[in-house]
Chain A
Amino acid sequence: MATKTKAGPTKYEISINGKTATVVEDTYLLKAVMDAGFNVPTLCHHKDLTPDGTCRLCLCEVETNGKKKLVTACNYPVRSEIKVKTNTEEIKKHRKSLAEMYLGRWPNVETIQNIAKLCGATDKEKYKSDITDENPKACILCGHCVRACSSFMIQDILGFAGRGIKRHLTMPFGDVDPHCVGCTSCGYVCPTGAIQITDDMNNPVDPELIRRHGMKVNAEMATLDKMQNRMREVGTANIVEVMDAYDLLPVHNFKFGKHPDTHKIDSKVMTRDYFTQGAADACWLGCSMACAKAVDGFELKTGPYKGEKVVVDGPEYETAAGGSNMGGFDLDFIVEYNFYCDTYGIDTISFATTIAFVMEAFEAGIITEEHTGGKKLNFGAMDEALECLHEMARGEGFGVEVGQGVRRLKEKWVKELGADPEFLNDIGMEVKGLEFSEYVSKESLAQQAGYAMAIKGPQHDEAWLIFIDMVNNQIPSFDDKAEALYYFPLFRIWFGLLGLCKIVWNDVAPADNSKYPPQEAAKIPEHVENYWKFFEGMTGIPVDEDKMLLQAERVFNLQRLMSYYFGRGTREDDMPPLRAIGPATVEEYLSREERYDKQMKEEIGIDPEGKSAEEKLAITRDHRFKQYNKVIDAAYKRRGWDENGVPTVERLKQIGIDIPEVMALLERPDQ
């Protein structure tokens, strides 16, 4: 999910040894110099690590306003129109001298010998002393490993100790640090072999292949995340303000996509006031993304642990957006419901979407305080929402009803209270009995289908296409969307089967990912390749797109067939509520009247002029369902399913799972 900047970056024309080069502001001089075709020696520089400027070999002369000075190119950001010289007599002299110092200390290390040669230093005896280390694999104090540990792993397990000439590499207190998980980043970046990788657990077939691609992931997370998403810093919470900006943040049971109070629950407030640990918090130690976050010392205001200070894991985006969906624009509330959902074993998304539905029903008068046990459950009624949560856990009062979820509430209220079934179905945000996760899918056809067609219900374990569809506009046509609804669920299923996480697939994209055509770019091809190589490195079996899709498609079709066998998994089960695909009420239509009127005119071909809001809502509803049906028709076809959404025998044969046990699933016991 690489975010693009709208205004172009500032650029400078600089002169390098008389040659003119155009350089983007803040580019490090070393890169600019190398890009311009000049070679500058360096030992401590590593392309994936923050520059350190410690070996001093990359000295260059920089002239600004007639004043000349020597700088280290690796950590000198270009911020004006400078004149650079990379190889003056003075520089050559210093480089040679530095190289001789290195040669005196570590004469047999190949990296040092190469640098010395480059700098014209040959005399190994010149600075030879009693501390000369003859080991060809000696540590040369370049600090690659220390920086890799800190920037890849967000750990400080390796570090330098000792002052001056006593500087040496160590773990804390000279002991083996039990926090080291053996990620091998340090060994990978070590230029001399001073750090050796001695053991590869789980006996992968090709550990080097895994490591190569793992390090690529590490390097990208360390260098690109801070520019693209800041997920290492703020977790998934950064999406709150992005979604609000794109009118996609669920507000008041998905009625709206933004709210003036979003700033009270966005990532700025979370990082400032709530994420207080100031440390990496990864799902597993060794993850270079470490996007999990936690709130420390949070004092609970309700429930059985009232008054106690607790640590709360989260909130993640969907929990925060669940807050806005209930109208709870208060992080204290969000963190509190996050904590109690975790404690009670309740999913925050299902809780929030159900309560949002209850709130809308309460405001619509379908239920009253009589049904809720006296609770005024308007949008934003945070204390009351929390009370519902505690009642759910205790199995008491209205909580017993709420705990059944949206689908059963709809059925119950129609049956027992005589509520309007169409209204409840339009606003009840569930498919297949599962509550919607927290994105407004109204304006993204691909996302609507991605949600509603998902085998286990409307969540993005299968396809989260909202960004590539709406924000990046990478899949404009029906065919593109159908292809996306074929490929992405399969890819997600495939790496899910491997037990791998999606964050390092598409949240951070390679800096040059846009070089691929849009549909390809949406897949993030180089990151997909990482997953293939992990598979190959572990099993020894090479994978490509066809093989991956085949592996996944077998599982996907089996899941769909099992769903079918148990009475779900047909077209009617893939139908979303109206609110998931468009405005469901007059209030909602009018809130975005300009947009919907424009669409009516341009896409439907009907002039909205003179029509009542009710008429316009009906026209839009009709159109949106037609569009939705078209998209799932296209997706079924691409998947090789019949128009009822059931896998065809032909397709099962094609993918080689037409074995009797699977074929038997086509015979539903209820038919």
Chain B
Amino acid sequence: MGITLHDIVFKVGGGIPNGRKFKAIQTGGPSGGCIPDDMLDMKVDFDSLSEAGSMMGSGGMIVMDDQTCMVDVARYFINFLIDESCGKCTPCREGLFALSKILTRITKGEGREDDLEQLQELSETIEASSLCQLGGTAPNPVLTTLRYFEDEYIKHIKDKTCPAGICTELITYSINDNCTGCVICAKNCPTEAISGEPKELHTINQQDCIKCGICLESCKYNAVEVK
């Protein structure tokens, strides 16, 4: 108690692996909130966490780097909570399902202008009117990502892009000039979407690409790009 989030992540936990950038920390389990990097100096205690829209909860923490899409994170946790909901009261049963539907369509690039308003409205009603604390805290992932990462939602909805490169429907993989024609990516591609002669520039056939990201991970020359 009283230690800062920063110290937990960087001193106790050893920081972000692979030299990546810190993006957010989710505390307290699936129904906790996501706290951004400019709040890392916050001390860990019940009141501060609640004030930030999260909670102490189980005490668990999930640290996310810049390759994490916050809309996708919210969708993931809400889907987890849908399975946890007992289904007895209406807001938790119907409301979480409605939240999931909206979040899913945003990650697919089908988001609508008023989706943010609906997410906010649903979350507030679920939080205020649920029968138990599962429903009472379930909207936290949505409410905090809306609060701290609203621009990311807007990019999904308006620009139809996923800045973190996670939402598969909104991204494309391509190969740039760094390619040496080592053929590793083509060998690893599960759908054989990559073609090219050895020692020549490779290309990705977008129709066959399932955006699994294996090419990106396997390339040693930073030749695979996500946009």
Contact = CB atoms under 8 A, between A and B. Distances in A.
B67 to A, nearest CB: 30
A164 B128 contact: no
B118 to A, nearest CB: 7
A54 interface: yes
A162 interface: yes
B129 interface: yes
Nearest to B88: A54
A94 B90 CA distance: 12
A296 interface: no
A90 B129 CA distance: 11
Given A97-B125, A164-B96, A165-B97, A54 B85 contact: no
Given A129-B98, A164-B83, A97 B122 contact: yes
A97 B91 CA distance: 9
A102 interface: yes
B178 to A, nearest CB: 44
Interface in A98-123: 98, 101-102, 104-105
Interface residues of A, number: 29
Nearest to B94: A101
Contact of B129 (A56, A141, A167): A56
B90 to A, nearest CB: 5
Contact of A129 (B92, B93, B97, B129): B97
B87 interface: yes
A151 to B, nearest CB: 17
Interface string A66-102: 0000101000000000000000001001100110011
Interface in A157-204: 160, 162-167
B90 A165 contact: no
User: Dominant SS at the A interface?
Assistant: mixed
A53 interface: yes
A59 interface: yes
A70 B93 contact: no
Nearest to A142: B90
Contacts of A167: 86-88, 93
Contact of A105 (B88, B94, B96, B129): B94
A72 B128 CA distance: 11
Given A164-B93, A167-B88, A104 B98 contact: yes
Nearest to B135: A56
B82 interface: yes
Interface in B73-111: 82-98, 101
A408 interface: no
Contacts of B130: 56
Contact of B93 (A90, A94, A126, A165): A165
A131 B86 CA distance: 18
A93 B128 CA distance: 11
A165 B82 contact: yes
A55 interface: yes
A127 interface: yes
Contacts of A53: 89, 131
B121 interface: yes
Contacts of A57: 90
Interface of B: 82-98, 101, 118, 121-122, 124-125, 128-131
